[in-house]
Amino acid sequence: DIQMTQSPSSLPASVGDRVTITCRASQSISSYLNWYQQKPGKAPKLLIYAASSLQSGVPSRFSGSGSGTDFTLTISSLQPEDFATYYCQQTYSTPWTFGQGTKVEIK
Amino acid sequence: EVQLLESGGGLVQPGGSLRLSCAASGFTFSTYAMSWVRQAPGKGLEWVSGISGTGGSTYYADSVKGRFTISRDNSKNMMYLQMNSLRAEHTAVYYCAKAGVGVADGNFDYWGQGTLVTVSS
């Protein structure tokens, strides 16, 4: 199975900050990488697919980059509604696996 | 509007069985692969099982292979997860998820609200 490792696990930040979350795959996954946002008690929401494509309706302050084994999710200017947990997910091969999550919390 | 509504969760004793259902609406159901994804209390996301649009191909995480069975009824716009020989570690919120964007069937663009399965005596 492909292991996905996110860093950091927790990220204290303030409104307006530029935030970067990293995801590393245990083997090359080309660009088969998605990012999801999850708020407490809610289902995850797809933000970015294929490493850098913005899902319809997602604000442009979210962006993704990377290929192969190293990927990043960037929030250019953190908004109050962005405090949540973020997960990366590989879809290169089944079982599709998720990272352990990064909780973006108020500093 | 795409809607996914899970049902069938609840409290079950270890060794018991449960069948989860996912009712889909707002899209051409048979066109899209679907999956079940779970989240244990306070933990991260774990993909459990997936099924192609026709139902002809199914996929499972190793942790549930031989114990869970995924199926769908395209005439009813329904997906199911039959869970047998349940153990405490199967306790989780189970989400129904629709694949859709891009080429990978694991790109989940819509999710249900989840149904809680609790395995306990």
Decide if A97 and B62 are in contact by the 8 Å CB cutoff: no
- DSSP letter string, B63-108: TTTTTEEEEEETTTTEEEEEE-S--GGG-EEEEEEEE-SSS-TT-E
Residue B104 confidence (pLDDT): 77
Q: Using an 8 Å Cβ cutoff, are B98 and B88 in contact?
A: no
Kindly tell me if the per-residue pLDDT of B98 is higher than 70.
yes
User: pLDDT by residue (tens digit) across A44-79?
Assistant: 999 999 999 999 999 999 999 999 999 999 999 999
Kindly tell me if the per-residue pLDDT of A85 is higher than 70.
yes
Q: Give CA–CA dist A48/B78, Å, rounded.
A: 27
Kindly tell me if the per-residue pLDDT of A29 is higher than 90.
yes
Residue of B nearest to A35 (CA): B107
* pLDDT bracket for residue B7 (50, 70, 90): very high
- From B17's Cα to the closest Cα of chain A, the distance in A is 23
- Which of chain A's residues have a Cβ under 8 Å away from the Cβ of B111? 43-45
Rounded to the nearest 10 degrees, how much is the dihedral formed by the CA atoms of A88, B113, A95, A21?
A: 10
Cβ pairs bridging A and B (under 8 Å) = 67
- Which of chain B's residues have a Cβ under 8 Å away from the Cβ of A36? 45, 108
Residue B102 confidence (pLDDT): 66
Q: State which H helix or E strand residue A89 sits in.
A: strand A85-90
Phi, psi dihedral angles at B81 (to 5 degrees): -135, 110
- Token code pair at residue A11: 């990220």
* B61 Cβ under 8 Å from any chain A Cβ: yes
Kindly tell me if the per-residue pLDDT of B110 is higher than 90.
yes
- Token code pair at residue A37: 């946002």
3 state SS of B30: helix
Q: Give CA–CA dist B81/B75, Å, rounded.
A: 17
Residue B105 confidence (pLDDT): 87
Kindly state the average pLDDT of the residues A71-90. 97
* pLDDT bracket for residue B100 (50, 70, 90): confident
